[in-house]
């Protein structure tokens, strides 16, 4: 096991920086240099780190500092430099040049980028530096969301990758998923495909309920705690845009067109309505004088906010009841056989999600367990392979895909009938991700 005694965190005051630092100082027992633009911000990061993992024991081994005064000294002492500064080449590349100059041979350097090219960022380093450069994509909040996408590029050394993976898994308690250096890696590529295409459908069905309707159709009974559009609203429409634009510009796969940002998203972004963090976006909550809170949803047609509607869609109600009783296959039978355009949409997206997840095996990841882990641990969505089992196996799933005119991935065509398709069951009980 690789020994990591000293770590430098760059971007220590951000939510991801402080949360990751908390995990490293607590689980890893490491001394952590907490670097930010100024020492005061770094000190705030330390307190946030303590609060995130709820242990005062780490405070003493976290040392605050600033980029200007302390970067070179901290990096020179470190076994791992974890960079979490703003998500752009313009910010990351100059700081990498400084790290590269101060770094000792053998020191690991990684970034938490959720979409930038790891290979391009690695170019700031000499040969040894490139060998030790990775993407370590933690999810927010790091203590609770245990996924780490370990992103490799062509210059890495397999032995170092293995040692780092072991450290992240055994010492830091991460669910490690190995991905290649492709746009948005595995989790975001799959997750934002679905979210963005659902957003397009919300526009298409704006007259019938739009955003609220689509989130209802894609709610907990389809294996997620939060609707896809509620998720977009939660992460922020600006972040959503950055991720889908990057994928749209840099990939050309079967789902390429679905990564185009919907016009109404851009309109909301231009108006500063970025989602929950800015007090409103796809939805907003208004607190009335009597203290009661009321939820509203953006009307794509009118540009106004309407009261959030309630729906009564019989097949969804029935499927939810089956899930409430832990009768998952029966719930999926309801979805498979229901009639009406809402059921067609549900089947379309379930098919799309499984198909797209499995289609990335070979390009983005080496095995389906990596995409399954990314979605299960990173998004709390029922992994694609588990869905295949709940739907009754590969044949049944293929039928569903064909009916929705979704491409059938080779992995599914080649799958053996009568054998469990989902192989992460001992690590992640997929049933827990369905909501009744």
CB of 42 to other proteins, least distance (A): 21
* 320 is an interface residue for other proteins by CB under 8 A: yes
Residue in this structure with the two tokens 């933690």, named with its chain if needed? 138
141 preceded by a cis bond (ω within 30 of 0): yes
End-to-end alpha-carbon separation of the chain, Å? Answer: 42
* 162 is an interface residue for other proteins by CB under 8 A: no
Among 12, 122, 199, 323, binds other proteins (CB under 8 A): 323
Binding to other proteins in span 391-420, by CB under 8 A:
none
Q: Which is nearer to other proteins, 23 or 198 (CB)?
A: 23
Instruction: Kindly report the backbone phi and psi dihedral angles of residue 359, in degrees, each rounded to the nearest multiple of 5, phi listed first.
Output: -70, -20
> How many angstroms from the chain centroid is the CA of residue 341?
29
79-89 as b/e, with b when 16 or more CB fall inside 10 Å? Answer: bbbbbbbebee
Of 1-9, 25-33, 278-286, 366-374, the window that binds other proteins (rule: CB under 8 A) is 25-33
Q: Which is nearer to other proteins, 395 or 435 (CB)?
A: 435
Q: Which is nearer to other proteins, 323 or 358 (CB)?
A: 323
Of 70-78, 204-212, 250-258, 421-429, the window that binds other proteins (rule: CB under 8 A) is 421-429
* 434 is an interface residue for other proteins by CB under 8 A: yes
Q: In 3D, which of 102, 56, 45, 49 has the Cα closest to residue 78?
A: 102
> How many angstroms from the chain centroid is the CA of residue 131?
26
* 435 is an interface residue for other proteins by CB under 8 A: yes
String of DSSP letters for 314-358:
HHHHHHHHHHHTT-HHHHHHHHHH--SHHHHHHHHHHHHHHHHHH
* 329 is an interface residue for other proteins by CB under 8 A: no
* 423 is an interface residue for other proteins by CB under 8 A: no
* 47 is an interface residue for other proteins by CB under 8 A: no
Of 38-46, 47-55, 154-162, 280-288, the window that binds other proteins (rule: CB under 8 A) is 47-55
Q: Which is nearer to other proteins, 200 or 320 (CB)?
A: 320
CB of 431 to other proteins, least distance (A): 7
CB of 82 to other proteins, least distance (A): 18
Q: Which is nearer to other proteins, 266 or 432 (CB)?
A: 432
Residue in this structure with the two tokens 């690695």, named with its chain if needed? 122
41-62 as b/e, with b when 16 or more CB fall inside 10 Å? Answer: bbbbbbebbbebbeeeebeeeb
Binding to other proteins in span 48-67, by CB under 8 A:
50, 53-57
CB of 296 to other proteins, least distance (A): 25
Q: Specify the pairing of strand 31-36 against strand 6-10.
A: parallel
Q: Can you read off the two tokens belonging to residue 343?
A: 């059921």
Residue in this structure with the two tokens 């983005």, named with its chain if needed? 364
Q: Which is nearer to other proteins, 196 or 219 (CB)?
A: 219
CB of 165 to other proteins, least distance (A): 17
* 315 is an interface residue for other proteins by CB under 8 A: no
Q: Can you read off the two tokens belonging to residue 63?
A: 């040392």
Binding to other proteins in span 165-204, by CB under 8 A:
173
* 327 is an interface residue for other proteins by CB under 8 A: yes
Between the alpha carbon of residue 313 and those of residues 199, 245, 307, 435, the distances in Å are 20, 34, 18, 16
Among 220, 236, 392, 407, binds other proteins (CB under 8 A): 220
Of 153-161, 201-209, 317-325, 341-349, the window that binds other proteins (rule: CB under 8 A) is 317-325
Burial-class residue 98 by CB neighbours within 10 Å (0-12, 13-18, 19+): middle
Q: Which is nearer to other proteins, 49 or 360 (CB)?
A: 49
C-alpha to C-alpha distance for 251 and 218, rounded to whole angstroms: 26
Q: Which is nearer to other proteins, 143 or 349 (CB)?
A: 143
CB of 299 to other proteins, least distance (A): 29
Q: Return the axis-axis angle of helices 67-77 and 89-102, rounded to nearest 10°.
A: 50
* 426 is an interface residue for other proteins by CB under 8 A: yes
* 141 is an interface residue for other proteins by CB under 8 A: no
Among 33, 139, 143, 185, binds other proteins (CB under 8 A): 143
CB of 118 to other proteins, least distance (A): 26
Q: In 3D, which of 390, 381, 436, 345 has the Cα closest to residue 224?
A: 381
Residue in this structure with the two tokens 């009754």, named with its chain if needed? 392
Instruction: Kindly report the backbone phi and psi dihedral angles of residue 332, in degrees, each rounded to the nearest multiple of 5, phi listed first.
Output: -70, -30
Instruction: Kindly report the backbone phi and psi dihedral angles of residue 341, in degrees, each rounded to the nearest multiple of 5, phi listed first.
Output: -70, -30
Residues within the interface to other proteins (CB under 8 A): 23, 26-27, 29, 50, 53-57, 143, 146, 173, 220, 320, 323-327, 426-427, 429, 431-432, 434-436
């Amino acid at each position: 096991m690789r020994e990591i005694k000293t770590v430098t965190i760059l971007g220590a005051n951000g939510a991801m920086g402080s949360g990751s630092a908390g995990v490293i100082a607590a689980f890893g027992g490491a001394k952590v240099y907490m670097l930010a633009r100024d020492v005061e911000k770094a000190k705030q990061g330390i307190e946030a780190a303590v609060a995130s993992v709820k242990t005062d024991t780490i405070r003493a081994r976290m040392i605050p500092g600033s980029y200007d005064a302390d970067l070179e000294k901290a990096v020179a002492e470190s076994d791992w430099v974890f960079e979490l500064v703003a998500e752009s080449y313009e910010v990351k590349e100059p700081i990498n040049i400084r790290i590269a100059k101060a770094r000792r041979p053998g020191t690991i350097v990684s970034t938490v980028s959720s979409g930038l090219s790891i290979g391009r960022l690695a170019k700031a380093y000499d040969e040894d530096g490139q060998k030790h450069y990775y993407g370590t994509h933690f999810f927010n909040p790091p203590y609770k969301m245990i996924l780490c996408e370990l992103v490799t590029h062509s210059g890495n050394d397999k032995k170092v990758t293995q040692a780092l993976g072991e450290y992240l898994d055994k010492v830091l308690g991460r669910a490690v998923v190995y991905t290649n250096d492709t746009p948005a890696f595995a989790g975001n590529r799959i997750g934002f495909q679905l979210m963005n295409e659902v957003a397009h459908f919300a526009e298409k069905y704006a007259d019938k309920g739009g955003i609220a309707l689509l989130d209802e159709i894609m709610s907990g009974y389809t294996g997620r705690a939060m609707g896809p559009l509620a998720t977009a609203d939660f992460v922020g429409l600006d972040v959503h845009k950055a991720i889908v634009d990057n994928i749209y510009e840099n990939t050309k796969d079967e789902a390429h067109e679905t990564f185009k940002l919907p016009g109404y998203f851009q309109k909301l972004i231009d108006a500063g309505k970025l989602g929950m963090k800015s007090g409103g976006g796809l939805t907003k909550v208004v607190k009335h004088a009597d203290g009661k809170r009321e939820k509203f949803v953006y009307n794509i047609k009118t540009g106004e906010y309407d009261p959030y509607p309630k729906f009564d869609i019989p097949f969804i109600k029935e499927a939810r009841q089956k899930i409430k009783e832990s009768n998952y296959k029966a719930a999926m039978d309801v979805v498979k056989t229901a009639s009406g355009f809402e059921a067609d949409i549900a089947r379309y997206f379930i098919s799309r999600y499984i198909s797209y997840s499995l289609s990335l095996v070979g390009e983005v990841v080496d095995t389906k367990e990596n995409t399954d882990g990314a979605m299960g641990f990173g998004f709390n969505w029922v992994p694609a392979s588990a869905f295949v089992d709940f739907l009754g196996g590969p044949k049944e799933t293929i039928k569903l895909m064909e009916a929705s005119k979704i491409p059938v991935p080779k992995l599914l065509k080649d799958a053996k009938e009568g054998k469990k398709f989902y192989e992460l069951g001992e690590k992640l009980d997929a049933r827990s991700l369905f909501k009744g």
